[in-house]
Amino acid sequence: MLPTLRNPLLRPLAASLAAAVLLSACGSPALQATPKTSVYLNEKFQSDETFSRLFDGSVAETCEAARRALLSQGYIITSAREGGINGSKRFQPEGEVHVELSFNIVCVADGKNSQIATAYVSAQQDRYAIKKSTNASSIGISAIGSISVPLSSSQDSLVKVASETIPAGEFYDRFFALMNRMLKEQANDRREGDK
């Protein structure tokens, strides 16, 4: 129990002090909204969020189907190696916003005699914005020294403002369906060539 203040002059001072303590407590980080949780805490590593699909073809055939699927949609193949493909495509959804989608595909042998393969696919979306910067130049005059004179020209450059891995879902389902179609077309072409 708090002692009562007998001096009437000290009561307003005590009330002001108590109000100041309450206000400072309201502004303290402990009483404010909880901080954002770290991104890695959302990683559940569940089997239903799959970035992979099993294909009825060898590693070389599966990766070739992935390469053809990307090429058929206007992607540029940035890297093609045994068991892996990388490709990217650029978009401009708004006047000063640019987006780049990039695919990373890894094909791994599965099953007996490696006759089937699993394709692991992840796509990343990077957003860029145009940043304008004006140029300045300095002119040296021996009597005065150097002075900085702004030029009227400006230079535009793209700056990355966001980057994220596209989550598993319909986007990948559509890509896997296109890969499967390309794999079947390759098999048909081989059969036609054997005749």
Report the alpha-carbon distance of residue 179 to residue 195 in Å, rounded.
25
Torsion angle in degrees (nearest 10) through CA of 182, 184, 186, 192? -140
pLDDT, residue 89, reads: 98
Q: Which domains does the chain have, with CATH numbers?
A: 51-129+157-194 (3.30.310)
Neighbours of 124 (CB within 10 A): 14
Q: Counting beta carbons within 10 angstroms of the beta carbon of residue 55, is it exposed (0 to 12), middle (13 to 18) or buried (19 or more)?
A: buried
% of the chain beyond a pLDDT of 90: 50
Mean pLDDT for the chain? 81
- Between 154 and 185, the more confident residue is 185
pLDDT average, residue stretch 159-167:
94
Output the CA–CA distances (angstroms, integers) from residue 88 to 15, 107, 112, 121, 172, in the order listed.
66, 18, 33, 13, 15
Do 63 and 83 meet the contact criterion of CB atoms below 8 Å apart? yes
Output the CA–CA distances (angstroms, integers) from residue 171 to 101, 129, 176, in the order listed.
12, 24, 9
> Three-class SS of residue 75?
coil
Q: Dump pLDDT digits (tens) for 25-80.
A: 555 454 455 567 788 888 878 777 789 999 999 999 999 999 999 999 999 999 99
The DSSP secondary-structure symbol of 72 reads H
- Between 59 and 1, the more confident residue is 59
pLDDT level of residue 2 (50, 70, 90 thresholds) = very low
> pTM of the entire structure?
0.68
- Between 95 and 151, the more confident residue is 95
Report the alpha-carbon distance of residue 116 to residue 54 in Å, rounded.
7
pLDDT, residue 111, reads: 84
Q: Dump pLDDT digits (tens) for 76-107.
A: 999 999 999 999 999 999 888 999 999 999 99
Strand partners, 53: 119
